[in-house]
Amino acid sequence: MPNIGPMEIMIVLVIALVVFGPKRLPELGKSVGKGIREFRGSVSGESSDASDASEDSPLAVDQPPVVAAHGPATKTDPAAGSRA
């Protein structure tokens, strides 16, 4: 079986770019990388549940949601407090 050289890899990447497009190609690469990482972890018996949670969600730490007020505060606005 012949070896795969840089020219063959370049041809495969160009075909993937044409088929999937420039917008979906990074998403595809990310999902393939995540799948390879999970496969390696399952083969070696490592459990990386904590690191997976931090990868999927940037807000893995318990934090209250941020509420943004739009426009100036008025008397009927509960975010205004007790203004008179």
Segment (H or E) for 50: helix 49-56
Per-residue pLDDT of the chain (84 residues; tens, 9 = 90+): 678 899 998 999 899 889 989 889 889 889 999 999 999 999 988 765 545 444 555 545 566 666 666 666 556 655 555 555
The reported pLDDT for the residue numbered 55 is 52
Where on the phi/psi map is residue 51: left (φ > 0), alpha (ψ -120 to 50), or beta? alpha
Q: Report pTM.
A: 0.41
Contact predicate 53/59, CB 8 Å = no
